[in-house]
Amino acid sequence: MMLKRVIMVIMLGLIFSSCDFIHYGKIAIQDNIRRIEMERERKELRKKDAPGAIMTDEYKEGVEIATQDIMKRPVNKRVEFEGATFIIPENTRLNPKHGNIVDEKTGYGIAITFTLSPHCMSKKVNDKEYSLSYNSKHNANVAEIAKEIIKVNGFKDTCK
C-alpha cells in the first residue's frame, strides 16, 4: 500500500513537470509558424511585380531601367485603390495584392505603394486616410517619381 502511494506521487510529479515541456513546445511551434509566414511574405514582396523586386538580383537591373523610363512619362493615368481614385504615371498599374506601382511594359514592380495604413504622406478621401510610401534607398529615381505622384494627387506630409 505504501509502495503504491510512492509510485503514485512519483507519477504525479512526472506528469506535472512535463506540462512545462508541453508549454514550451507549443511556444516553439508558434514561433516556427510565425517565422515561416514571415519568410513567405518576404518572398512574396520580392516577386517581379512586387515593391521589393529591386532587392532581387535577378530583377535589379530591369527595375532600374523601368524607373528611368517611368520618370519620363506624364502622370495622368487614373486608377482605383480601395474606393478612391488616384493618378499615377502613364503605362503603369497598381498591383492589387500590395498596392505598389507596376510598369506595364516590363512587369517590374516599383517601390511606391498606396496603403490605408498611416504614413507621412497622406490624403483623406471619403473619411478614409490613404497614404503613399516609397523606398528610394535602392533607386534614387523612385523618389522623383513619388514626388510627382504626391504633387499631382495632393498628398500632404503629416509627419511635420
Alpha-carbon span 66 to 89, nearest angstrom: 12
pLDDT grade for 118, boundaries at 50, 70 and 90: confident
**What does the buried/exposed string (b/e) look like for 138-149 if buried means 16 or more CB atoms within 10 Å of the residue's CB?**
ebebbeebbebb
Q: Average pLDDT in the 88-106 region?
A: 94
Domain ranges of the chain: 1-45, 53-157
Across residues 94-101, what is the average pLDDT?
A: 93
Is the model's pLDDT at 79 over the cut of 80? yes
Cell numbers of 6, please? 510512492
What's this model's pTM, rounded to 2 decimal places? 0.74
Residue 17 clears pLDDT 70, i.e. is over it: no
Whether 103 and 66 have beta carbons less than 8 Å apart is answered as yes
Q: Do 105 and 113 contact (CB within 8 A), yes or no?
A: no
